[in-house]
Every structure is written in C-alpha cells, then in structure tokens.
Chain A
C-alpha cells in the first residue's frame, strides 16, 4: 500500500511537468500582451522594453519556463503582474474561499443525492421516480448564470432575505451566520447541477445493483429490507459513487468559475477570470497548477478509497 502510494506520486511528477509546459505555451500564445494593459498608450519603445524586462517576459519562452520552474521548486510562484504581490501569499485565501463553496456544495449534494437516488431506483418508473428524474434533469440543464441571476433577483432584490454576493457583508461584523447566509445562493446554484448529476449516478448504479443475483440471494435468505438495502445494496454502490466524486470535484472548478463570478465570490474562479483579463501569467500558471494537482490528488484518493470499499481491489 505505502509502496503503491509512493509509486503513484512519482508517476505524478512527469505528468504535472507536462501539464505546466502545455499551460505555459497556451497562456503565452493567447492574444494580447501584458504590456498593453500596464502602460499608457503613448509610452516610448524604451519604456515598453523596460516594462517587459521587469515582468520577465523579454526572454525566450524556454528560459521563462525554466525560471518559473526553478522558482516553483523553491516554493515561489512569482509576482502577480496586476497586484505586484507574491502569488503564493494570495493563493491560500483564494483556495480557502473556493474550497468552502465546494465543500458546502458537496455536503448538500450528497445528503440529498444518495437518499433521492436510492428512492428513485426503488420506485423505478413510478411517480416519485419520474418527479426526481425530471427535477434533476432540469437541474442539469439550467444554465448556472441564468439560475444564479434568477436567485439573486428573487431572494436578494425582491425578498431581500439573502445577500447578492461576496463572502461576507463588507464593513459588517462578520461572523458565522453572516458567512452562511452568503454561502446559500452560490451553493444552491452549484449543487443544482452537481446534485442532479449525482442523483442520476446513484439511481443508475442502484438499479443495476437491485438486478444483481446477490440481491436475490439476500432476499431469499429472509433478511430485513433495511439490511438488504444498506448492508447488501448500497455497499456495492460506493465504487461507482466514488468514481463520480473524484472525477467531478476537479470539474466543479469549472462550474465554480461562472458561479463565483456571478456572486462575486472571492475564490479561484473569480481570480482566474480577472487574471485572464489582466494577462496575469504568473497567476494563471499558479491556478492551472492547483487545478492539475487537484485532479491528480483526487484520482489517487479515489484509488485508495476503492481498496477500502471493495475487497477485490488490493494494491
């Protein structure tokens, strides 16, 4: 097991390197130049050159990349072009903001999706199942920018019960309740998609499981229904569920970009949009790195969890 983890982490390193190279190329190939943004239109050639060298973008790409890599190894992600602050100092607060939003989305999604998916599967094609499947289809198909704006309009502007955005009331006293209130709407928007998707997975895996021969054996033994359902059925659903969780969490970052933008949530997603607009290469590289690492970490975590829930899997 320990050996397996070490091996997996070692495999990860070249993958990460490849990812950063690709990101570096894409970021630099994107149209626009940082100097256009940070210097006035009538700057002299000399001023522009000076600017370029101070940002470190006057050198050939390979050299820029290796410098970035060298800094990275030393725990330095460079300075933001826009704010001039070290990226590494800003990153943790952004990650915390996004992780908070994701964690609450995940919590809500699983608390709802697992029971609803099971109910749906048990009542397959019945009224309740059709209702759950229908609503979750809506949840998957509704565009999050539209849904987010609609929620803001209803709950913040019309009813005035919830804030329009941000992580806490500016100039307010803060506190847990205030933060929770700010969390509600963005969580709903993200969970609408995530939870709906999850319900479909839970439903599909439970339908497959109910048709399994070992479920028939459990029934033929005369066991109680709750034991058959949880002790024999749901137990076997963990592998497919974990697969979805681990592949979907990094994908959620994508959904978070739009949602954070709508709700002015000061997380990775919003930071990324502003970094793209500002051609803030160091910030973009840092975010890409975080995203890539999270994909790899969750894949590894999923593989370890498989072994925990399925006795047939051993490393």
Chain B
C-alpha cells in the first residue's frame, strides 16, 4: 500500500549569518512526511532538528537566515516560495506547532481561553461566542477539568503539564493536517511526560494528523513513531521505519545514539557516550563530519561525505560502511543487547494497533 506524502522536504539548506561567520545549520535535508504517520526526528543537540522544522512554517529570523537551496512541498505548493501573508493562512490552520517550553510559550497577560480561541476566530471565522464554546470543548478534550472556570484563568495559574495541554489545544484547534512537536515533553517531569505523550497519541489518531516529533528520548520514539530520521551536523544520516532503526541500524552514529540510551536494568557506569563532540558548523570539516568520532571510520570518511545508501525500500543510511567495497562490520553486540529494552515497547505498540 503506497501512502501519499503530505509534506516533501527536498535538499533543504539553511545557514545563519552570525558575527563569527556563516553557520551551516542545515546541509541538504531531504525527507517525506506520509499522510497520518508520525516521523520522529532524533539527533544530538545542535544537529539542526529545530531549524529544519521551523523553516517549514517560515519561523526562522528572516534577517540573518539564508535558505540557499531546497523545496518544501505541501499540496502542490512550495512553502519556501510563499509570501509571509500566504504563510499566515497556513500557520496554525494547516500546519501547527508545539514547542518545548510550555512555561514561556503562553502569553502571560492573556487568559488561556482567549489564547485558545484566537486561532478559531482567525482561521475558522468563528464569532467570539462560538470560539469560546469550542475552546472550552478543546480544553476538555486535552484533559483540563473545570474547563469553564479555567477558560478565564491566566497561564501562571496552570502547571507546566497543564500549560502544555493548553498548547496542544491551541495547536489542534483548527484540525491541522500537520503537527510539528518540537520536544514537547522535554521540560516536563517524567510522569507528566507520559501523560502528554499518551494524549498526543490519542489525539493524533482521532484527528489523523501527520506528525513530525522531535525528541531526545528514544523510548518515546519507540512508543510513538512510525518512522525515524536521525540527524547529525545538519544532515539526515539515517532514515527508516522504527523497526529498521532499532533492530537493524546501519549508521555508526545511530549505533552510538542507541547505546547511549540509559536502561532500567543497567548501572550508570555502563552508560555509553559517543566520544568527542559535534563539529563546528561554522567550518564543517571535509569528509564525513562524524568521521573523527567514528571508531569504524574508513580512509574515505576523511575525504568525502558519504551519499545515502539504500538498505531497503524504506531504509537509507549515509555511511561508507554500506559501500560494496567496504569491509563488513557487524552491529556491535553492545547495541544488540541494549536494544532488547525497546523490544517490549515496540511489542506493546504492536499490540495496541492490533486492537
């Protein structure tokens, strides 16, 4: 069954003109978002996850951002070519976003109700009264009790988890086709995180929203995602279905990421960290930017960036190890062992969707 793509990002290349020079934050990112799916974006801090997704709705600071190449196709339109006026009609209506920090993402001087009602009035042409009724319904839907009273309250009267529920209500107010959630649970404590993830899963199923989900938490990825894209130094280095990424990862960086996930069973001494640090994007080294941290690096890794090698119809990875001439390297035992923890999460998810 071929599922249509709702969003196609092609060769997106973004740099920032800063005081120190040109920061090459995104260096040719290509991916599709399929209708109804959840695509997880993972990767170290600074790998370009937020910048790539902000470009979709033109949320990057115009003055010092250069989008030198690329296309972002949504419904036969290249979003990069949209004027800011046209973009306004798409933001919040077709493509909505949820951000990391619920404590500061709501306006402290406006009631929560009004902030939820705003997109309804703007995009769905509702009257103030109708928007209020709908906003209260949305608040109930995202699990806010006593919604009528809380409609009139201000953000400071809400806890972090409740504020993130409000952000979700705002994002889903106009039934967007695409939801971009940029680390929506990072700032919350663990139990609240689980609640928010469950809520998002539930609502996503109900609204059939296609979702790009940025996170550092591979447990969340295993729980929520259909496909995973791994980013490193402004590029997608591996992309595939969840099963492919967790059971059969091909890129040494993905191996490192998986190995660095803490598990319930192990002591902290066991915790693996990828040696070294990400390259300076002001001056990206020649060859594969990951080579200096890669214990499996080949000579060519220091000379030329690897292209995307096809592993399967749905699975691609940018590592020279996949070149026919490369020595064959097995997935390290360590990774295999650690991956066992994801099996239970993936199995639970499978059971869910069978119901």
Interfacial residues, chain B to chain A (CB-CB below 8 A): 57, 59, 87-93, 96-97, 99, 101, 104-111, 115, 118-119, 122-123, 154, 156, 167, 170
Contacts and interface: CB of A to CB of B under 8 A. Distances in A.
A221 B59 CA distance: 11
A312 B156 contact: yes
14 contacts: A213-B104, A213-B105, A217-B167, A221-B92, A221-B119, A222-B87, A222-B93, A222-B123, A223-B92, A227-B118, A235-B109, A309-B109, A311-B111, A312-B156
Contacts of A219: 59, 91
Given A213-B104, A222-B90, 9 more contacts: A214-B104, A214-B106, A214-B107, A216-B99, A217-B167, A218-B107, A221-B122, A222-B93, A311-B154
Interface in A221-245: 221-225, 227, 231-232, 235-236
Given A311-B156, A312-B156, A220 B107 contact: no
A222 B119 contact: yes
Contacts of B92: 220-223
A212 interface: yes
B109 A216 contact: no
Contact of B118 (A221, A225, A235): A221
A214 B108 contact: yes
Contacts of B99: 213, 216-217, 220
Interface of A: 212-214, 216-225, 227, 231-232, 235-236, 309-312
A223 B101 CA distance: 20
B96 to A, nearest CB: 7
- Counting from the closest, the 9 A-B pairs by CB-CB distance are A222-B92, A222-B91, A221-B92, A213-B104, A214-B107, A311-B154, A220-B97, A213-B105, A221-B119
B110 A220 contact: no
A93 to B, nearest CB: 42
A232 B104 contact: no
Contacts of A216: 59, 99, 105
Nearest to B153: A311
A218 B105 CA distance: 9
Contacts of A218: 107, 118
Contact of B91 (A221, A225, A227): A221
Nearest to B109: A235
Nearest to B123: A222
A313 to B, nearest CB: 10
Contacts of B115: 217
B101 A213 contact: yes
